[in-house]
Structure 1
Amino acid sequence: MDLRLVWSIMSIPSIVLYYVLGLAFCAFFLLLKWNDLRYRRKGVPPGTMGWPIFGETSGFLKQGPDFMKAKKARYGSIFKTHVLGSPTIICMDPDVNKYILLNESKGLVAGYPESMRTILGDKNIAAVHGALHKHIRGSLVSLVGPAAIRDHLLPKTDQFMRSFLHNWAGQTIDIQEKTKQMAFFVSMKQIVEDVPSSFHEEFKAIFDNIVLGTISLPIKIPGTNYYRGLQTREKVIRILKEILAKRRASSATYDDMLDKLVRHEDVKYKLNDEELIDQIITVLNSGYETVSTTTMMAIKYLHDHPKVLQQLRVIFETSRLATIVNGVLRKAITDVELNGVMIPKGWRVYVYTREINYDPFLYPEPFTFNPSRWLEKGLESHNHQMLFGAGIRMCPGKELGIIKISVFLHYFLTKFRWEEMEGNKIVKFPRVEAPNGLNIRVAEY
């Protein structure tokens, strides 16, 4: 038998394989090139757009700050990408960011991802703009303003925290889970007080799907976080409608937010049921993650830096160093030119504030936990300080969130000493969390 003939026959599959791989590589390259070309516009900053539909979302979520740093090193502080289902301009320029947040009406409106909008609701305060945003914000501010905090919310928060912490001595606990319970339960108590504690626990168990769904890709396929988030939203709406119906059928009055919204007490704008339910879901979601994570990280940092226990401004420094919120999104409703940069209609702008929190010009030794830096006059009101947002979108529950964290830390720090267990790990993107829990051993003073 001719060995050359045998070798030629055996080589055919390999040749076909190489040919197929070569075609696939060319197809992938052309697909990436086509996706970049279709988003090219005069004045749009440089960058890459990744794959059609998915864009660069995978790298953005997996690499987080490293993704941003690599892009900034290559393209500068303003660049384009495609993340979370939308073409997006990422902005790390502090002056431009400040301008965007303070000038919403000039072609830019709130532009949160589709997953967040659909799961929190079309009428949630983060999704609406213009007159409706003004009315809804006014209603919420009246419920969480200084007078409401002093007369109603602070006494309730104080009572809840003392009860919540009373039996922790001698236990080994997951402080991440405990602070999540704290943040969710205290919010539920303030929103609707006439439900048992068992309801709070059941409600939290399903509400966790809302949180995960809001930061997922909007792919409505069973088994995805987005799909579970949408299903959970329907359950939550049914539960809240039942509570609303009972309230309206009862002549009793309650000292909670829901009663004031239903009876329109101390509320300037009357919310319809859709608006009311979306605000309750949004208040629970926003207060849940930020309050619980800031509290957990404060305990983590205080454990690692015990000398600062007696210093002030722990909450501000924790929010800065942990960067619970990495930035905010805006959407262009018309072509917008900003500082020589074109933002096409329909594109989003990600005001990425994380890097500002680590700017050595603003915060010397930025990666050091140093609450005393906030004693410096004017730092809280610095032009680039955006821990709680800015402009008309500044967090309406800022003061209430600080109150919750402060009261918890007051009782925890004055009552207990604690030590961390081994194996704790913190990740800071896309969410600040301890994947395996943050376990501590608690003892009473």
Structure 2
Amino acid sequence: MAVMVLVVVVVVLFVLCICSALLRWNELKYRKKGLPPGTMGWPIFGETTEFLKQGPNFMKNQRARYGSFFKSHILGCPTIVSMDPELNRYILMNEAKGLVPGYPQSMLDIMGKCNIAAVHGSTHKYMRGSLLALVSPTLIRSQLLPKIDQFMRAHLSGWDNQVINIQEKTKEMAFLSSLKQVASAECEFIAPVLQPEFFKLVLGTLSLPIDLPGTNYRSGVQARKNIIRILSQLMEERKASKETHQDMLSGLMVSEENKYQLSDEEVIDQIITILYSGYETVSTTSMMAVKYLHDHPKVLQELREEHMAIRERKNPEDPIDFNDLKSMRFTRAVIFETSRLATIVNGVLRKTTEDMELNGFVIPKGWRIYVYTREINYDPFLYPEPLTFNPWRWLVCDLFFLLFLLSFSMDLYVWFKFDQTGFDCKLQDKRLESHNYFFIFGGGTRLCPGKELGIAEISAFLHYFVTRYRWEEVGGDKLMKFPRVEAPNGLHIRVSSY
């Protein structure tokens, strides 16, 4: 017995020595002159497990030890984490100076090498132009909003006296609404086979690129292949039929009228990007808006009044139009506040194309820089009482915040209107939305091209939801906010007619 105990102790000590040696070796490997302080964790895996499990707490602990600019090894590559708002703004606004997109290999493999998040320079400009042409205000008004309205009416029908999983419903909504805009004529036929593959693809984008059976990465790669097969067949059928369609796929495919002559591979990667970007943000923001509205009755009351006023101007079957959308000021504020407080996008990745100096440190060529914008959303100087759900903050800003903004940007055109509520500060009619550290939708040349389309989709969803239904939560469903905002067991609500 004593011998067995001794053997176990020896084995444990040996394992501890090996682990210590590996950690020490990895630290020495990345101890280059000029690098910021930090830890690198294990070989290959780095600190990815701690990052994914602890999320914001991991970042806060590292910042407490090393400051707002430190090194780590996450998602398969050595990475510099920047939590400094001013430096983050510089990094996002200076892609031309060698700070190009640097997304993890898993995302590049699954989203495609031609997706807009991966390319840079003239290629990015060209691909971005092809996307912007699909989501212009004119097209939102004439083509996209009518499709969104028609879809939302149908999707939200029949919920009365039901217990529903609002997370599942908003995921279906976001995917199917985008697919209807992408391929309007074929949406009904391809959705049943495309949807399960797409959900696998989404899970695979945030994973270690380990190609083993049962991993999210392998499942995501296989899902991409299946999606490519489905979309390629659809494109071939359209080319053969020569029918005209008013949808995004038609707008991307080569034609005499289209100045963006994309290859089939580029078209498919653009379609995957459209489906992915709209799905993640629209579904999660819609779910969390339902959650926050339930928890804040005064916000729900004002939102409902805004939408009831729109309905009173219309016949029961009249759709919402572009003017209605523009009048939804409080709805827009609810969407921004939901996105801020839930923090659906935690940050963005960049990669250095050469050795460069940042913040007094030398960052080697090929290293990733994680522009971690999450904490900006909870900065009390930018957002007083940052943990409070307060959509009104996006409509009115006080004198203190005005002076804070002016200290950074003296060229803001500001004027005041004083009434019984105090100063109503308008900054280029955009208020908080225009401040220098508003990164909810990205920044610089990487500002989300589908921002207004996504807002239109969420606004239409909220319009029909709050004017048709009231709801209450069923059970205490748990919410996770990192690495994705999600309810692991769903978010269940009991719906009744309003």
TM range (shorter): over 0.9
After superposing the two structures, state which structure 1 stretch, 330-339 or 133-142, moved more.
Answer: 330-339
In the alignment, does 2:398 pair up with 1:407? no
Q: Distance in 2 between matches of 1:388 and 1:406?
A: 16
What runs of 5+ residues in structure 2 fail to find an aligned partner? 304-329, 397-425
Q: 1:218 aligns with which of 206, 209, 224?
A: 209
Q: Measure how far apart 1:196 and its partner are.
A: 5.0
Q: What is the 5 A alignment of 1:305-324?
A: 305-309=296-300, 310-311=302-303, 312=330, 313-324=333-344
Name the residue aligned to 1:247.
238
Contact persistence 1:143–1:267 (CA under 8 A)? no
Name the residue aligned to 2:37.
46
Q: Measure how far apart 1:19 and its partner are.
A: 2.8
Name the residue aligned to 1:325.
345
CA deviation vs aligned residue, 1:326-377 (integer Å, no higher than 9, x gap):
0000011111111212221111000001000000110011011000000134
Letter in 1 for 2:200: N
After superposition, the Cα gap between the structure-2 partners of 1:68 and 1:266, relative to the gap in structure 1 and judged at 3 Å, is farther
Using structure 2 for the length normalisation, give the TM-score. 0.86
Name the residue aligned to 1:363.
383
Name the residue aligned to 1:64.
55
Q: 1:143 aligns with which of 134, 147, 150?
A: 134
After superposing the two structures, state which structure 1 stretch, 14-23 or 94-103, moved more.
Answer: 14-23
Q: Distance in 2 between matches of 1:442 and 1:266?
A: 47
CA deviation vs aligned residue, 1:208-227 (integer Å, no higher than 9, x gap):
10000000110001110000
Name the residue aligned to 1:4.
none
Q: Distance in 1 between matches of 2:383 and 2:252?
A: 42
CA deviation vs aligned residue, 1:172-226 (integer Å, no higher than 9, x gap):
1100000011100010000001225253133111211000000011000111000
After superposing the two structures, state which structure 1 stretch, 27-36 or 109-118, moved more.
Answer: 27-36
Contact persistence 2:346–2:373 (CA under 8 A)? yes
After superposing the two structures, state which structure 1 stretch, 162-171 or 296-305, moved more.
Answer: 162-171
| SS at structure 2 position matched to 1:105 | helix
CA deviation vs aligned residue, 1:242-266 (integer Å, no higher than 9, x gap):
0000000112211111112224476
Name the residue aligned to 1:372.
392
In the alignment, does 2:364 pair up with 1:344? yes
Contact persistence 1:78–1:93 (CA under 8 A)? yes
Q: Measure how far apart 1:11 and its partner are.
A: 3.9
Letter in 1 for 2:252: L
Q: 2:148 aligns with which of 144, 153, 157?
A: 157
Name the residue aligned to 1:417.
470
Q: Measure how far apart 1:267 and its partner are.
A: 4.1
CA deviation vs aligned residue, 1:56-75 (integer Å, no higher than 9, x gap):
00000011111111111111
Percent identical pairs in the alignment equals 63
Q: 2:183 aligns with which of 189, 192, 199?
A: 192
After superposing the two structures, state which structure 1 stretch, 338-347 or 292-301, moved more.
Answer: 338-347
Name the residue aligned to 2:20.
29
Q: Measure how far apart 1:307 and its partner are.
A: 0.5
Contact persistence 2:180–2:187 (CA under 8 A)? no
In the alignment, does 2:444 pair up with 1:391? yes
Q: Distance in 2 between matches of 1:218 and 1:57?
A: 12
Contact persistence 2:197–2:224 (CA under 8 A)? no
| SS at structure 2 position matched to 1:258 | helix
Name the residue aligned to 1:95.
86
Name the residue aligned to 2:100.
109
Q: Distance in 1 between matches of 2:157 and 2:10?
A: 70
CA deviation vs aligned residue, 1:129-179 (integer Å, no higher than 9, x gap):
111110000000000111111111011111111111121111111000000
Q: What is the 5 A alignment of 1:113-124?
A: 113-124=104-115
In the alignment, does 2:374 pair up with 1:354? yes
Q: Distance in 2 between matches of 1:339 and 1:54?
A: 27
Contact persistence 1:142–1:266 (CA under 8 A)? no
Letter in 1 for 2:260: Y
Using structure 1 for the length normalisation, give the TM-score. 0.96
Letter in 1 for 2:490: G
In the alignment, does 2:208 pair up with 1:231? no
Q: Distance in 1 between matches of 2:2 and 2:152?
A: 74
After superposing the two structures, state which structure 1 stretch, 383-392 or 14-23, moved more.
Answer: 14-23
Q: Measure how far apart 1:239 and its partner are.
A: 0.5
In the alignment, does 2:487 pair up with 1:434? yes
| SS at structure 2 position matched to 1:144 | coil
What runs of 5+ residues in structure 1 fail to find an aligned partner? 1-9
Q: Distance in 2 between matches of 1:294 and 1:283?
A: 17
Letter in 2 for 1:388: F
Name the residue aligned to 1:75.
66
Contact persistence 2:254–2:262 (CA under 8 A)? no
| SS at structure 2 position matched to 1:349 | strand
RMSD, matched Cα: 1.3
Letter in 1 for 2:440: L
Q: 2:124 aligns with which of 129, 133, 147?
A: 133
Q: Measure how far apart 1:408 and its partner are.
A: 0.6
Letter in 2 for 1:286: S
Contact persistence 1:139–1:267 (CA under 8 A)? no
Name the residue aligned to 1:6.
none
CA deviation vs aligned residue, 1:19-43 (integer Å, no higher than 9, x gap):
3322221221121011011111222
In the alignment, does 2:274 pair up with 1:268? no
Contact persistence 1:260–1:266 (CA under 8 A)? no
